[in-house]
Structure 1
Amino acid sequence: MERPHSLERPHSPAAEPTVTPEHAVTPDPAVTPDAVASGGPGAASLVLTVDSPERMRELGLGLAALVRPGDLVMLTGELGAGKTTLTRGLGEGLGVRGAVTSPTFVIARVHPSLVDGPPLVHVDAYRLGGGLDEMEDLDLDVSLPDSVVVVEWGEGKVEELSDDRLHVVIDRVVGDTDDDRRQVTVTGVGERWAGADLGSLVHRGR
């Protein structure tokens, strides 16, 4: 198997404008809550219906308001489900540098913060067949304490990185004629997420 590449950092164009905290995007996810597993604020799990790629991006903006340095976010979903779109919104909300795209060909990409916040480490583990052993060269355990680490296709591969993680599962709605509609299940695992208000992700309906 091809050896994983080291973390890539986007180049910073000379004329790139500085982003200040007051210019950071305000989270406004337009999603519909279908169920809250534990009921009400502080629930460990939340199920949402997201109607479009733009709404998926907005959900990422909402996640940006919840995460902090040291958080591990695992994204699960088939190809084209919206994992990278969600991460793009998360990156916008965090105010990081560089366009968030799928890091498939470099395995992982680091997006430094432009607003004195945590960097975003975006990993695509699709081509990594094994567990954490195959990801050691990425030094995710070193990056994690100071960063927000998002791993697409990470289930069964990165759980050993942290006892605390946010697991986001994106599914197509079975039998739905709208190809853009997704069911998104957001589950907080571990003490870090025990008191988190996942219900804050829902600001308005469809």
Structure 2
Amino acid sequence: MTFERELPTVADTQAFGRELAALLRAGDLVVLAGPLGAGKTALTQGIGAGLGVRGPVTSPTFVLARVHRGGRLTLVHVDAYRLGSMADVDDLDLDATAEEAVTVVEWGHGLVEQLADEHLVVELDRRDDDVRTARLVPVGAGWERRLTGA
């Protein structure tokens, strides 16, 4: 089961992130996949806004992980681009905050899924005309129910 959305502008990508934030619960893992410039950070900015976290949400490329507090839920924003193994992920100690926060991982596809039994994969892409697309791929019955409203 997949759900797809066209996102013509960065503002649309951020708005979609705010919509996703309404579905998120403590302990959720969201894995963002897609090439450079596909909108992973913009989507996370929208998620942060939807959760009401304080301060700007910026790419954690150089620090690997940022924790944003002050909202309905804490947002842990991770950039796994430079991580090569599960041992590298373990070094970030993400499981310490996993139950009480929403963890959003850029570039984590194929690397961080074992952090949660159920998770949401957001596959982002950018077409030649700069329009982005987002495809939601729920992993687990709980995410399928949330996305279908069942």
Cα separation, 2, equivalents of 1:110 and 1:192: 25
Residue of 91, 102, 111 corresponding to 1:148: 102
> Are 2:122 and 1:122 equivalent residues in the alignment?
no
1:58 is matched with which residue? 15
The amino acid that maps onto 2:126 is R
Residue 54 (structure 2) aligns with: 97
| Greater per-residue helix proportion | 2
Unaligned runs of 5+ residues in structure 1 are: 1-43, 200-206
Aligned counterpart in structure 2 of residue 195 of structure 1, from 142, 145, 148: 145
Deviation, 1:146, is 0.4
Q: Which has the higher strand share?
A: 2
Output the amino acid matched with 1:100. V
Shift of 1:94: 0.1
Q: State the superposition RMSD in angstroms.
A: 1.3
User: 2 CA distance for matches of 1:197 and 1:183?
Assistant: 17
Residue 48 of structure 1 and its aligned partner are, at CA, apart by 1.2
TM-score by length of 1: 0.69
Bigger Rg, which one: 1
Shift of 1:149: 0.1
Per the TM alignment, residue 198 of structure 1 is displaced from its structure 2 partner at its CA by 5.1
Residue equivalent to 1:34: none
Question: Are 1:184 and 2:141 matched, yes or no?
Answer: no
Tell me how many residue pairs correspond in the alignment. 149
Q: What's the CA shift for 1:118? A: 1.4
Structure-2 residue corresponding to 1:170: 124
Q: Provide the identity percentage.
A: 52
TM value normalised by structure 2: 0.94
> Is the Cα–Cα contact under 8 Å of residues 111 and 119 in structure 1 kept in the other structure?
yes
Deviations 1:147-203 (Å, cap 9, x if unpaired)? 000000001110111120010001123xx4x22x0121011111321311358xxxx
Question: How far apart are 1:85 and its partner, in Å?
Answer: 0.3
Contact 1:45/1:198 (CA < 8 Å) preserved in 2?
no
2:5 to 23, 48, 61: 48
